[in-house]
Amino acid sequence: MAKDDERMLGFPEIAALARDRLGFDALRPGQAESVRAVLEGQDTLAVLATGTGKTAIYQLAGLALGGVTVVVSPLVALQRDQMRALSEHPAGVEVAELNASDHAGQRVAHEMLVQRRPGFVLMSPEQLTHAAVLELLASSRPHLVAVDEAHLVSEWGQDFRPDYLRLAAAIRAMGRPPILALTATAAPPVRKEIIHRLEMRAPSVVVGGFDRPNLNLSVFTFADEETKGRRLLSHVRSSRGPGVVYVATHRHAEDLAAELETAGVSAQAYHAGLSARQRREVQDGFLADRYRVVVATIAFGMGIDKPGIRWVSHAEAPGSIDAYYQEIGRAGRDGEPADIELFYRHANLGLNRFFASGGVSDEDLLAVATAIDEHHPADIAELAAASGLSPARVERALGRLTDARVVIVGHRFRLTARTDVEKAVAGASAVEHDRREVARSRVEMMAAYAEHGGCRREWLLNYFGEQYKGPCGNCDNDLNGHTAAPAPDQPFPVGSRVKHPTFGSGLVERYDGTTMTVLFDRVGYKELRTAFMTYRHLLEPES
């Protein structure tokens, strides 16, 4: 089929392709819409919940477009397993991995790219640091670039990966094929940053599949830490099936796992302070049911695909709803009921507020901008050496300079034309100020969810831009007969743009009783009294 004809594929043809090549009985919400957008030549951001088949989207789009599809993923081993079925199909397609440790696979990938043979080339973002790889990709002229776990390009995501910052320059060098970005975790600030950092052009944004009706959502509120700790331990001991407890610190993970072991519960701690071998052993043991409970920090998550996790508990509120939803998404992937519990103390938010108030100093911005201007370093290690800062501080400063559009991240870092160090620092400092405001507002949204008096599913889905009207009948508030205050008149429709004289432009997110939540571009989420906003004419539709 010619390329122009392929882009005429409608939903029935896409469904037939999914059935014939992937063995799907039916497509899930968001899959066909995302594939269709790609086939029409649009950049596409697909924001679909964990377990809703995001991998199938780039498989279907790549099969329909023909030519080379480049897949950038931090989980190449997992992607390899998911792609194997394609290569083993009777009308199979080539799948190769661009990985320096796999010489045979690298040779096949090299040949596919040079010869532009139809198929899928998988690569990790770290490969983008190699000049030879960038040159090879530039010569390949792929038909599609798929960016899996796209939230990793965003520092609002769980695990920012600075190598993802090179993607935009690499895609430009490839002849700027359509970009398909895929993620399960992207509230509006994350989406905005993904689109910006990947330089997506007026993308089609497909959001859906966030509703997980099999998850029972509960929040237990405590006045003191000792009572909360006893209740958590008792809850985990009496729970059925495998589960995960998320905690804030390495020490808490170790202590709680030891307490559970003493109480006769097979449990292991998992955190970034363990060696890679130790983390792998815990993960493999949990997947193989050798341990019933993993007590983990945020380090535990990506790549964990255990369908029968029956519960996820949080010993403390995470720093954002985005992190919370991604972590609870580990539960109930088999579609069976699963329990989600947050053990909440408002006082615990102090640590999250402290972290949200931190960030990148002007001194770090100056050091990094000066190092880029004088040395044009090729990678984070060189930039750290030239600036005298740790790699972690360099990564954060580089993110701000990139967002201020004063640094170009290609094979080497350099300042943009007509930008000196002073202008670069001023621009990045302004970005950092706004970012701290948004970070603080995300912590307050976590508190708003925990203290919400109505349907929790409605609150969560509305936060992610998916309209839902409760009660859901499967959260603590609904089951206890609690309901939120009736919504007042909505002077500005949900999803509309408004302008405030102090906060600037924003998006109306939701109404709750007498208040409305607006996500402002510069200062983040604000809960405002609806009547006061209209009486004082402090909000107006954005023209």
Is there a contact between 113 and 121 (Cβ–Cβ < 8 Å)? yes
146 found inside a domain: yes
175-188: average pLDDT:
87
**Residues 204, 279: one domain?**
no
Grade residue 6 by pLDDT with cuts at 50, 70 and 90. Answer: very low
Which residue among 331, 354, 377 closes a domain? 354
pLDDT exceeds 90 at position 189: no
**Residues 373, 422: one domain?**
yes
**Residues 188, 239: one domain?**
no
Domain that holds residue 542: 485-543
**pLDDT per position as a tens digit, 426-482:** 999 999 988 888 888 888 899 999 999 899 999 998 888 777 888 999 999 999 988
In order of 232, 233, 234, 314, 506, the CA distances from 229 in angstroms are: 5, 6, 9, 11, 39
pLDDT exceeds 70 at position 321: yes
The CATH code of the domain that includes 249 is 3.40.50.300
pLDDT exceeds 80 at position 89: no
Q: How many domains are there within the chain?
A: 4
**pLDDT per position as a tens digit, 216-255:** 999 999 999 999 999 999 999 999 999 999 999 999 999 9
177-196: average pLDDT:
87
Q: What pLDDT was estimated at residue 3?
A: 40
Which DSSP state fits 485? P
Q: What pLDDT was estimated at residue 69?
A: 93
Q: What pLDDT was estimated at residue 470?
A: 84
Is there a contact between 319 and 350 (Cβ–Cβ < 8 Å)? no
**Residues 375, 331: one domain?**
no
CA–CA dist 412, 138 (Å, integer)? 16
Which residue among 154, 174, 208 closes a domain? 208
**pLDDT per position as a tens digit, 102-129:** 667 678 888 888 888 888 998 888 888 7
536 found inside a domain: yes
274 found inside a domain: yes
For residue 137, count CB atoms less than 10 angstroms from its CB and return exposed for 0-12, middle for 13-18, buried for 19 or more: buried
343 found inside a domain: yes
449 found inside a domain: no
Residue 160 corresponds to which amino acid? F
CA–CA dist 112, 106 (Å, integer)? 10
